[in-house]
Structure 1
Amino acid sequence: MTQTKSIFQRPLWVTIFALTAAIAWGWAYPLIKLGFKEFAITPDMTGAKMLFAGVRFCLSGLIVLAIAGGKKRNFKVRKAFDWWYILLFCLLNTTLHYAFFYFGLSHSEGSRAAILNSLSVFSVVIFACIFFKSDHLTMKKIIGCLIGFAGILSLNLGGSDSGQFSLLGDGMIILNALSGASASLLTRGLGKRVDVFVGTGYSLAIGGALLIIPALLMGGRFVQINILGFTYLILLISISTLCFTLYNKLLTCNPVGQIAIYNSLIPVVGAVTSCLCLNETFYIKYVIAGTLAAGGIYIINKN
């Protein structure tokens, strides 16, 4: 008798779920900036930005852990010493990753940050080839990375009126991308120490808490509180919970490359939604950069 495939392995549903995750992640860019506006968080309010990010990811992590508990996942960590590895993963995957992201996004246009953040995909490819013997630097990967980097560099084409590199904006987004890429490498070892789904919950909850504590010590607070601001925050929490849940489940049921290819949509969706929702100036170089970045990711992941 032929074994029935899981819904997460059926081509149509794989496409629907992967597209849902990619599109939802792309929407996070304008929602964060809209949330900053409603909570009256200005670029110089470091503590408030950390608090906003910390609340989002801590609550999202608790929701993921609650789902894991409901699904009777194994919460046991293999060895006591493995908690140090998990803590390092929390710091890179959530605390530093999103601290840099929120700082950079508050000093940069959402559309520009979305495309620049695709650097994380190409960094993962290069880092994996350096640190893992099983990953080889093929011609396909080289071409994909070169095309992707060309797209990122094209963001600085044109005069100052069309946006140029800034340390607090672009610099922070680059550090965010590198932190995320480093965390992706640690994910391979995470599964040897704890259930990956549970580890994701730990990463979000603990990493979020590590953002909240210093934020409060720095006097971080929400200057202005309203229903619309909480609506944006709830949407961001939902995006994190939904996307990590879908994405991790798809990765456990399908080849990584088959799922990762959909990430090429994230910078494109992020750029388009930022221009539409934030009334940001749309430059033709965003089309060039987004197309090259998406094309590079596609080439790298294409079978």
Structure 2
Amino acid sequence: MSTDTWIALYPEQERNRTLARRTPAGPKAPRPEPGKISQSHDPSPRMDGRSWLMLIVLSVLWGGSFFFTEIALVDLPPFTLVLGRVAIAAMILWWVVLLRHIVIPHDPKIWLGFLVMGALNNLIPFCLIVWGQTHIASSLAAILNATTPLFTLIIAHLATQNEKLSRRKVIGVLTGFIGVIIVIGLPDAMEASISNVTNIAALAPFAVLLAAVSYGCAGVFGRRFKNTPPILTAAGQTSASSLMLIPLCILIDTPWNLPFPKTETILAVLGIAAFSTALAYILYFQLLNRAGASNLLLVTFLIPVSAILLGVLFLGETLALRQIGGMVVIGLGLAVIDGRLFFSRKGD
């Protein structure tokens, strides 16, 4: 799951809630002059200790999805694993929807939108990442997945009229893609692919990057759900992706021919569904309301770190110095896009 996708879905809701919390009540509340931009650089409130703790936990939950995937792939093929993830998560999320007494929509257009979101935000990226992890380490997949904000900005620039790339964001995107080239060693990877067309493993890093593109498309498409309760959107899209995955599992994985999975595989599927998907969505929306979208972008920096630590400590993975350096450059690009470290918000 992409952080940037959900930030893109509900920016106006979050901004309105945040400004409402910070604007003084009563007739003496200050009003901006017509045509004058507020001097506040960021409407998001300061992060307190609890918000930081929630942010770290969220990064571990989402970073843990790469860890759980690596364990479950020992026994399960990609489509079956992804189906288990989204189906169990959907059941948990619908339970939360019912507990909160959220009205379930009857408009077919909304459900068709859930179907598209399920494909763009779950089915396509989850399957690509899981397949990629059959050939590359979980930590490398997490680093490449951190490029989602880069693709989201490009897609939003091309597909919308009011979200064009600023000079700062162009610099950040270019910096991020330089990091990608460093991580995967693009010249070497292209040479390997050309010299050996049967070397499917060489395509694994590009599959994860394509997943990031899909997340970016979901972020732009999903803005039509800005007036829909976020937890309902999450439940709807995971349900839709579950339905789409069933025939794929039957036709490709033939799960009835698979041996019964080991205990650690079952626990990994439960972990990625309950913790890295359902609980992560719930915690994300709470933190979005508490800390704001700009602060929540920080989780993009922390997810690869969490995935790397889990991979190194529990899976025995190692990263080349080139990949670590590339991760730093990608992080630098994201920091430039965020703007708080290198640029004034007024000087975009």
TM-score interval (norm. to shorter): 0.7 to 0.9
1:188 maps to 2:188: no
Q: In the alignment, which of 28, 38, 41 is matched to residue 65 of structure 2?
A: 28
- Offset of 1:4 from its aligned partner? 8.8
Task: Indicate conservation of the 8 Å contact 1:274/1:280, yes or no.
Answer: yes
* Identical-pair percentage: 17
Partner of 2:297, secondary structure, is helix
Partner of 1:300: 337
Runs (4 or more) in structure 1 with deviation over 4 Å come to: 158-161, 164-167
The two structures, once aligned, show a CA RMSD in angstroms of 2.7
In structure 1, how many angstroms separate the alpha carbons of the residues matched to 2:223 and 2:172?
Answer: 23
- Would the alpha carbon gap of residues 101 and 28 (structure 1) be closer, same or farther in structure 2, given more than 3 Å must change? same
**Residues 221-267 of structure 1, C-alpha deviation per residue, up to 9 Å, x if partnerless?**
54242222111111111221111111123334543222112211112
Task: Indicate conservation of the 8 Å contact 1:50/1:220, yes or no.
Answer: no
In structure 2, how many angstroms separate the alpha carbons of the residues matched to 1:129 and 1:251?
Answer: 24
Partner of 1:17: 54
Task: Indicate conservation of the 8 Å contact 1:64/1:201, yes or no.
Answer: yes
Q: In the alignment, which of 146, 149, 173 is matched to residue 121 of structure 1?
A: 149
Which ranges in structure 2 are unaligned for 5 or more consecutive residues? 1-19, 23-44, 194-200, 341-348
Task: Indicate conservation of the 8 Å contact 1:120/1:181, yes or no.
Answer: yes
Task: Indicate conservation of the 8 Å contact 1:146/1:296, yes or no.
Answer: yes
Partner of 1:62: 91
Bigger Cα displacement from structure 2, 213-222 vs 261-270: 213-222
Q: In the alignment, which of 98, 101, 119 is matched to residue 91 of structure 1?
A: 119
Partner of 1:263: 300
In structure 1, how many angstroms separate the alpha carbons of the residues matched to 2:219 and 2:291?
Answer: 17
Partner of 1:142: 170
- Would the alpha carbon gap of residues 61 and 21 (structure 1) be closer, same or farther in structure 2, given more than 3 Å must change? same
Letter in 2 for 1:212: I
Q: How does 1:129-168 map to 2 (within 5 A)?
A: 129-157=157-185, 166-168=201-203
In structure 1, how many angstroms separate the alpha carbons of the residues matched to 2:158 and 2:128?
Answer: 24
1:108 maps to 2:141: no
- Offset of 1:280 from its aligned partner? 2.5
Partner of 1:281, secondary structure, is coil
Task: Indicate conservation of the 8 Å contact 2:176/2:329, yes or no.
Answer: yes
In structure 1, how many angstroms separate the alpha carbons of the residues matched to 2:108 and 2:174?
Answer: 42
Q: In the alignment, which of 229, 238, 247 is matched to residue 265 of structure 2?
A: 229
- Offset of 1:136 from its aligned partner? 3.2
Which ranges in structure 1 are unaligned for 5 or more consecutive residues? 42-47
Partner of 2:209: 174
In structure 2, how many angstroms separate the alpha carbons of the residues matched to 1:279 and 1:212?
Answer: 33
- Would the alpha carbon gap of residues 130 and 255 (structure 1) be closer, same or farther in structure 2, given more than 3 Å must change? farther
- Offset of 1:277 from its aligned partner? 2.5
- Offset of 1:276 from its aligned partner? 3.0
- Would the alpha carbon gap of residues 281 and 206 (structure 1) be closer, same or farther in structure 2, given more than 3 Å must change? same
- Would the alpha carbon gap of residues 23 and 140 (structure 1) be closer, same or farther in structure 2, given more than 3 Å must change? farther
Q: How does 1:29-44 map to 2 (within 5 A)?
A: 29-37=66-74, 39=75, 41=76
- Would the alpha carbon gap of residues 13 and 134 (structure 1) be closer, same or farther in structure 2, given more than 3 Å must change? farther
Task: Indicate conservation of the 8 Å contact 1:59/1:205, yes or no.
Answer: no
Task: Indicate conservation of the 8 Å contact 1:50/1:215, yes or no.
Answer: yes
- Offset of 1:10 from its aligned partner? 6.3
Task: Indicate conservation of the 8 Å contact 1:264/1:295, yes or no.
Answer: no
For normalisation by structure 1, the TM-score amounts to 0.85
Letter in 2 for 1:195: P
- Offset of 1:181 from its aligned partner? 1.1
In structure 1, how many angstroms separate the alpha carbons of the residues matched to 2:87 and 2:219?
Answer: 19
Q: In the alignment, which of 224, 229, 232 is matched to residue 198 of structure 1?
A: 232
Task: Indicate conservation of the 8 Å contact 2:47/2:291, yes or no.
Answer: no
- Offset of 1:49 from its aligned partner? 1.6
Task: Indicate conservation of the 8 Å contact 1:271/1:286, yes or no.
Answer: no
Q: Which has the larger radius of gyration?
A: 2
Letter in 2 for 1:215: C
- Offset of 1:293 from its aligned partner? 1.6
Bigger Cα displacement from structure 2, 152-161 vs 106-115: 152-161
Partner of 2:255: 220
1:209 maps to 2:243: yes
**Residues 150-183 of structure 1, C-alpha deviation per residue, up to 9 Å, x if partnerless?**
111101349979xx77554112212211111111
